[in-house]
Amino acid sequence: MSENQLQFNPASYPAASGVYLMRGEKDQVLYVGKANNLRKRLRSYFSSAGDGRPHIRFLVQQIRRIETIVTDTEKEALLLENTLIKKHRPRYNIRLRDDKTYVSLRIDFNEEFPFLQIVRRVKKDGATYFGPFSSSGAVRETLKKIYRIFPLRHYPMERCRRRSRPCLYYQIGQCSAPCHGKISREDYLKQVNGAISLLAGKEKELMDTLKGKMHDAAAAMRFEEAARFRDQIQALELTAEKQKVSDAKGMDQDVIGLHREGGNVEITALFVRGGSLISRRDFNLEWSLEAEELLASFLQQYYGAEVFIPDRILVSLPPASLETIELWLSERKGRQVRIIAPARGPSKKMVEMAERNALESCRQRENHREGRDKVLYEIQKNLGLRKLPMRMECYDISNVQGRFSVGSMAVFLRGEAAKREYRRFRIKTVAGADDFASLAEVLRRRLTRGLSEGVLPDFVLIDGGQGQLSGVMSVLKELGLEKKIDIAGLAKSRVKADAQGDVVERSEERLFLPGEKEPVIFGEGLPALFMLEKLRNEAHRFAITYHRSLRSRAALGSSLDEIPGIGPKRKKSLLKHFGSITNIRKASREELRSCPGLSPGMAEDVYGYFH
């Protein structure tokens, strides 16, 4: 036991339900947990037998203080635990990480003419959501097919009504133009119901309905109407995809499967909507817990975010605090949610399928990880790095003639982009377009904070040659890190052109190392060079994106901010209503008066400013 390690005294802690926060040497939160009996739970960490979780022995060595918060019920403890985990993001709690950004489709039936929107967050706003879907590109392709069968509107009504005529989608038959009165609300809602049936996986019922309407229209000699139904049926036959897994009850349910290999845990969630399996999502967890507690933590973190909560959640074994989690989920959804560990039947087979998918995902991830590790070994070998560059960082500066000067930091963890670790910097101490000084400021700020938080890079890549490299080395020496962090500069390839400006020769990318005159040349097309180029390009993209956002914000605000009485809320309302400064400038007095939150006097002020 180290001198500073916590001397645990069970009598110091209450024997009541609540939440505990384990804090480290710098009072940072290392772990957040809940318990029915705080004293009993905390005693288990410090008993001779140990807690049973592999990472706990590392955690206990770092604990300097334990803070407890007593609650009246276990449900209150669960809610408080979720809140504190989101706030502190403790190192030793599980962190859900997956490989994709998921999207959903939203439709609000409270609107006069509802339409489908692609969203990334599911909110409690009374709308209906479909998903989640793993590919936004695939969702857009699905929408294109839906619009060909059921021509719903694509854009907000206010935007479309400002046009003098229907948009191009109406002219190509993929919008029914309710904004210009080309379809009644009753007929439009029929199109909406058809689209919803298609999204809900009810292709057969929809097909039967359309065929019945086609025959009725033909019998009544409404041949144009019958032809439209025929076209919809043909398009639907081409679009409909046969579902291999289905549930006759037509339930919405999520199926959770786990696979463990040593300390590595893979979780696969299968999403069943309307009885049909529509998508899956994979998670790789950093820390191993007992299966029951691991599953409970997963359910809390995943469903604590703004995601769709189904009626049933199928799992391989009951999670810890099952009844409390069910009660919490039911309150979030607004009706009963069941968590079931089926022992037999179709539901059991669904769980086994999720577990097989988790196993396969684990194998694929491991193969991918081995491939990335080989590339990292190549980088270490070719550049003579002191250790494997598990955490690589690259920095870039962006400005236009010294204005809106910003810096960016892109991060690769074990060879993969870790976008949550990316950081942006407003340059504070450098005037004008001095990229060298700006780069030094960004690196000094990042590494100073890294020293205090204990998170430093193994390898720093700089976009540039010897000049940029020498500036970075001075910062490392200033902070005493020149022997702890390896650095290199990646200089862009040189291009030679002829008299007409055509490229005749392009040199290879060059990597410069401190104290070395000659650059290191990687063979073109090598995976190691590709990874370094990707890291540099990510830093450049991130800097440019931030720089452009600052410029556009300044451009938007420059004119509206000069109008007396137009504050942030009214400015936001104007931009939301009209879409752009250009449209506000073109708007008539009557159009400005129609903007929500703008009085007639303010509308006159806005009109007068631009005219």
pLDDT digits (tens, 9 = 90+) for 13-52: 999 889 999 898 888 888 888 888 898 888 888 776 554 4
Res. 100: pLDDT tops 80 = no
Q: Following DSSP, what letter does each residue of 306-333 receive, concatenated?
A: S----SEEE-SSPPTTHHHHHHHHHHHH
Q: What percent of the chain has pLDDT over 70?
A: 83
Instruction: Tell me if 253-363 shares its fold with 391-549.
Output: yes
CATH second-level architecture of 561-610?
Orthogonal Bundle (1.10)
Q: Give Cα 8 to chain centroid, integer Å.
A: 40
Please determine, looking at this structure, whether the domain spanning 253-363 carries the CATH number 1.10.3860: no
Q: How far is CA 445 from CA 230, 263, 453, 475, in A?
A: 66, 35, 12, 10
Structure tokens at 401: 């003639």
Any idea which of 63-72, 144-153, 173-182, 372-381 has the lowest mean pLDDT?
144-153
Residue type, 164: S
Structure tokens at 284: 């790789």
Res. 479: pLDDT tops 80 = yes
The whole-number pLDDT of residue 232 equals: 67
Res. 546: pLDDT tops 70 = no
Residue type, 516: E
CB neighbour list of residue 272: distance below 8 Å, 6 or more residues apart: 245, 247, 251, 252, 253, 254, 255, 278, 310, 350
The whole-number pLDDT of residue 239 equals: 47
CA distance 210 to 215: 9
Number of CB atoms found within 10 A of residue 493's CB = 11
Fold (topology level) of 10-88: GIY-YIG endonuclease (3.40.1440)
Strands 391-400 and 403-413: antiparallel
Give residue 245's pLDDT band: very low, low, confident or very high (50, 70, 90): very low
Write b or e for each residue in 291-315: b if 16 or more Cβ atoms lie within 10 A of its Cβ, otherwise e: bebbbbbbbbbbbbeebbbbebbbb
The whole-number pLDDT of residue 20 equals: 92
Q: What is the mean pLDDT of residues 191-219?
A: 77
User: Which pTM does this prediction carry?
Assistant: 0.59
The answer to whether residues 196 and 173 touch, using CB atoms and an 8 Å cutoff, is: no
Res. 341: pLDDT tops 90 = yes
The answer to whether residues 388 and 380 touch, using CB atoms and an 8 Å cutoff, is: yes
Q: Give Cα 159 to chain centroid, integer Å.
A: 28
Strands (E), 349-437: 391-400, 403-413, 416-417, 423-426
Indicate the domain borders of the chain: 10-88, 104-239, 253-363, 391-549, 561-610
Averaged pLDDT of the chain = 80
Q: How far is CA 323 from CA 105, 302, 318, 355, 555, in A?
A: 31, 17, 10, 24, 54
Q: What is the mean pLDDT of residues 546-570?
A: 66
Give residue 369's pLDDT band: very low, low, confident or very high (50, 70, 90): confident
Res. 576: pLDDT tops 60 = yes
Q: Identify the CATH number of the domain defined by range 391-549.
A: 3.30.420.340
Long-range contacts formed by 445-451: CB under 8 A, 24+ apart: 446/393, 446/395, 446/409, 447/475, 447/476, 447/479, 447/481, 447/485, 448/479, 451/479, 451/481
More confident residue, 197 or 177: 177
Phi first, then psi: what are they for 563, rounded to 5°? -90, 120
- Helical (H) or strand (E) element with 129: strand 128-133
For residue 132, whether the previous peptide bond is cis, meaning omega lies within 30 degrees of 0, is yes
